[in-house]
Structure 1
Amino acid sequence: MTAQQHPLALSTGTDYERLAERFRPIFARIAEGAVERERSRGLPYEPLKWLTEAGFGAVRVPLEYGGAGASLPQLVQLLIELAEADSNVPQALRGHFAFVEDRLNAHAEARQDKWFRRFVAGELVGNAWTEVGAVKIGEVGTRVSRRGDQWVVNGHKYYSTGSIFADWIDVYAQRDDDGRDVIAAVSTHQSGVRQSDDWDGFGQRTTGSGSSVFDDAVVAEENIIDFSSRFKYQTALYQLVLIAVLAGSGRGALRDFASEVRQRTRIYSHGNAPRVSQDAQIQQVIGKAAALVYAAEATALRAAVPAQRAYETRFGGDERAEHDANVAAELESAKAQVVIAELILRATSDLFNALGASATSEARQLDRHWRNARTAASHNPLIYKERIVGDWEINGTEPPYVWQIGSGPSAA
């Protein structure tokens, strides 16, 4: 069925405050357990259940299909609020919102009712794209093959963010029969899918970003999707989630350090006031960090605007407008990534100047804000994004829309 044969219901935005009020009590509950989860490496199964039961995973689904009809800037704002509560949780949902966005774009060509219903019912989608081992750039070791009357997936992936919590996994693979790159939407509710919480990074420890192994995992033929049809601003979308994580990490750090200063009774003999909260230099530290976080959040919201435009132009029938919107989405998310990483890493480090050595206490876990921000900022290396933006500004060279990692050529 073509776009002209069914009415198009788009997600162009809703009343943000009304939408956010639905989730803010859940965000508060999530924040209450964040320090203990960080300390014990407790995966956020329960917080994600609270969110999905409230419809968080369907906020981008059009109203006509039971979702909230939120725009991408509104999704980014929600993710920032969620990241303030616990920055691991929105990153665990990164793959989910990317797959939702893909199905939203696919709706321009064929109805996506079945997937929309799944999202509204609270089903989550994880991510499994990155190969492990000595796979070269451009090669795909994970295969989709025909076995009798079924299609099956075999392979080993790492950085499977959020997949351990998910009902489905968005798997990047290659067909055995014709060699085409595909996305296989694989159900996790089968013995052919094995997942491990073996991510060993010093930050974002509870995002479920470990290994996924597929051993004759069955996939429905209708859920084998040509990668060539993937929505074009996908890399920008993935980056938008990360910059929301960064901005929210900054908000969480500001909240926690301001609270610590407010309650602190011990002072230094060479300080400037009888209470730390009245010390002008300490107030300056908090105020400067607040300004850095403000700038980061404002930049994140601005960077989401061209991605929303790319989504809407997908349905407009103007190829040039769609192309230009996709270019803008990629470039603006890259520029935002560069500046937000610098702002938040500075804020989450400088805030320690407002407290004494007790701020480094393991019990307080104040360092989690910097660790989580540093980890999120290490995705999709900043130096390459800076070069790509520079190449565009100087030479008008279009940015790449697909990023890969793997082994380079041998020394020989």
Structure 2
Amino acid sequence: MAELDQTALSQPAQADTQHTARVIADDADAIAAARALAQRLGKEAAVRDRERRLPHEEIEWFSQSGLWAITVPKVYGGAGVSFVTLTEVVKIVAAADPSLGQLPQNHYGLVDVISLTGTDEQKRYFFGEILSGKRFGNGFSEKGTKHVLDLKTRVRRDGDDYVVDGTKFYSTGALFAHYVPVLGLDDDRKGWLAYIPKGTPGLIVIDDWTGFGQRTTASGTVVLDSVRVPASNVFPAHRVSDFPTLNGPISQIIQAAIDAGIAHAAIEDTLTFVRTRSRPWIDSGVERAADDPLTVREIGHLHIQLHAADALLERAARTLDAIAAQPEVSEDDVARASVAVGEAKVLTTEIALLASEKLFELAGTQSTLSEHNLDRHWRNARTHTLHDPVRWKYHLVGNYYLNGVKPARHPWN
């Protein structure tokens, strides 16, 4: 049965001014925290997937670790980690459990929206909330529209407040969130983001996600029925695309890091199974599956593809870091960033799908038994990589290098 968040009937949660979550100090601290968390998350990841057991406890471990706050700027008390570190953190967590790795993907992008468009007062308030362990979900996409930016949700000004009406889907993290940022259009069709506290009257979050992969993200429905939001919680989202910013490439590089994490996990499970359970093919003339020359060849190919994807991912992150360090970001900078991330996204998508499919070919029939639940890697890879079509990444990259066409500025580039 779908899980309905009935807290919509209660009063909005009050701000917590105390730092209850651990505060990450720097990049090295973030990597260490991610590795420690991944050890905990990985232990029952397969069971959570098989039983579709929503990770209410595990997500508390995650946000209390301080990792959800690592992109808060240093001037506001955060670690302000590099994009190289951010992608590595996401990849580490996603390798342990890609559903949990996906939950903060929109959160990090929403932190960037605050940095780009918020007033100093808004930044101090919301960055304080994040540092205390608060989480953002999302209410962006909708079903049944012409395309992803054809939004029916409306955000209209009413006195000192805004009023939000609409229905969202693919709302990853909303069920677990302290705030559900909702994207809607005003009468001039400009985009606004309303950061709606959990418990606000008229906000209803429904767990009706039935995707065969990423099962525990609860990426279902958010209903907004005349939801009243104070103006201090509303941000001009249109500005992140109206002007050159890195918000789109940031969103995309996090997606790519999740896919890279899935690939790492699939290859690790392939190695373990081949070493400990698989049998060599009868014509190979060897005693162990790990010595089968054709299997060895395929393992080599997978690692070459994986390392190429990792390298392009790191290269893209370093590109973002270099651009972010500049006094201003130009249209050319954003285009260069989008192309670098697009190249990485192609390879992380392809290795996630290849590795999760090759697992069965190399490990053998026994690997398909439900007790191992190894199909979760392919289900997760196939589901998550549908976020945006990689065929358009090839077009984006080719059009840039051949015709000098800059990618359109939006969250999918």
| Fold conserved between structures, TM > 0.5 | yes
CA distance in 2, matches of 1:298, 1:91: 21
Matched, 1:330 2:341: no
What is the Cα deviation at residue 221 of structure 1? Answer: 0.6
CA distance in 2, matches of 1:109, 1:228: 19
Structure 2 counterpart of 1:128, from 134, 139, 147 = 139
Q: Which amino acid aligns with 1:336?
A: A
CA distance in 2, matches of 1:43, 1:222: 32
- Of stretches 244-253 and 216-225 in structure 1, the one that deviates more from structure 2 is 216-225
Matched, 1:213 2:226: no
Provide TM-score, normalisation by structure 2: 0.86
Cα distance change of structure 1 residues 184 and 255 upon mapping to structure 2, 3 Å threshold: same
- Match of 1:125, SS state, is coil
CA distance in 2, matches of 1:136, 1:24: 38
1:372-391 CA distances to partner (integer Å, 9 max, x unpaired)?
Answer: 11222222212222222222
- Match of 1:112, SS state, is helix
In structure 1, the residue matched to 2:94 is 83
Structure 1 contact 92–208 (Cα < 8 Å) conserved: no
In structure 2, the residue matched to 1:379 is 387
1:300-321 CA distances to partner (integer Å, 9 max, x unpaired)?
Answer: 11112222334333xx1x4xx5
Q: Which amino acid aligns with 1:341?
A: T
Q: Which amino acid aligns with 1:121?
A: S
- Of stretches 239-248 and 222-231 in structure 1, the one that deviates more from structure 2 is 222-231
Provide TM-score, normalisation by structure 1: 0.86
Structure 1 counterpart of 2:233, from 219, 223, 247 = 223
In structure 2, the residue matched to 1:204 is 214
Matches within 5 A, 1:245-256: 245-256=258-269
In structure 2, the residue matched to 1:360 is 368
What is the Cα deviation at residue 118 of structure 1? Answer: 0.9
Structure 2 contact 281–292 (Cα < 8 Å) conserved: no
In structure 1, the residue matched to 2:203 is 193
- Match of 1:78, SS state, is helix
Structure 1 contact 14–70 (Cα < 8 Å) conserved: no
- Match of 2:407, SS state, is coil
Cα distance change of structure 1 residues 150 and 30 upon mapping to structure 2, 3 Å threshold: same
What is the Cα deviation at residue 170 of structure 1? Answer: 2.0
Q: Which amino acid aligns with 1:50?
A: W
Structure 2: 5+ residue stretches without partners: 1-23
Matches within 5 A, 1:341-360: 341-360=349-368
Matches within 5 A, 1:27-42: 27-42=38-53
Structure 1 contact 285–351 (Cα < 8 Å) conserved: no
In structure 2, the residue matched to 1:158 is 169
What is the Cα deviation at residue 55 of structure 1? Answer: 0.4
Q: Which amino acid aligns with 1:202?
A: F
Matched, 1:238 2:261: no
Cα distance change of structure 1 residues 213 and 295 upon mapping to structure 2, 3 Å threshold: same
Structure 1: 5+ residue stretches without partners: 1-12, 405-412
Q: Which amino acid aligns with 1:84?
A: A
Structure 1 contact 52–122 (Cα < 8 Å) conserved: yes
What is the Cα deviation at residue 285 of structure 1? Answer: 2.9
Cα distance change of structure 1 residues 222 and 374 upon mapping to structure 2, 3 Å threshold: same
Cα distance change of structure 1 residues 266 and 132 upon mapping to structure 2, 3 Å threshold: closer
What is the Cα deviation at residue 267 of structure 1? Answer: 4.7
Identical positions, percent: 31
What is the Cα deviation at residue 157 of structure 1? Answer: 0.8
Structure 1 counterpart of 2:276, from 243, 259, 263 = 263
Structure 1 contact 14–71 (Cα < 8 Å) conserved: no
Structure 1 counterpart of 2:303, from 263, 272, 290 = 290
Q: Which amino acid aligns with 1:163?
A: A
1:247-304 CA distances to partner (integer Å, 9 max, x unpaired)?
Answer: 1011101111211122227554334322323434333333332222222122111112
Structure 1 contact 140–174 (Cα < 8 Å) conserved: yes
CA distance in 1, matches of 2:78, 2:300: 38
CA distance in 1, matches of 2:282, 2:192: 65
What is the Cα deviation at residue 403 of structure 1? Answer: 5.9
Structure 1 contact 335–385 (Cα < 8 Å) conserved: yes
- Match of 1:252, SS state, is helix
Structure 1 contact 151–219 (Cα < 8 Å) conserved: yes
Structure 1 contact 286–351 (Cα < 8 Å) conserved: no
1:234-256 CA distances to partner (integer Å, 9 max, x unpaired)?
Answer: 22122111111111011101111
Structure 2 contact 118–235 (Cα < 8 Å) conserved: no
Cα distance change of structure 1 residues 137 and 25 upon mapping to structure 2, 3 Å threshold: closer
- Match of 1:156, SS state, is strand
In structure 2, the residue matched to 1:53 is 64
In structure 2, the residue matched to 1:273 is 286
- Of stretches 54-63 and 395-404 in structure 1, the one that deviates more from structure 2 is 395-404
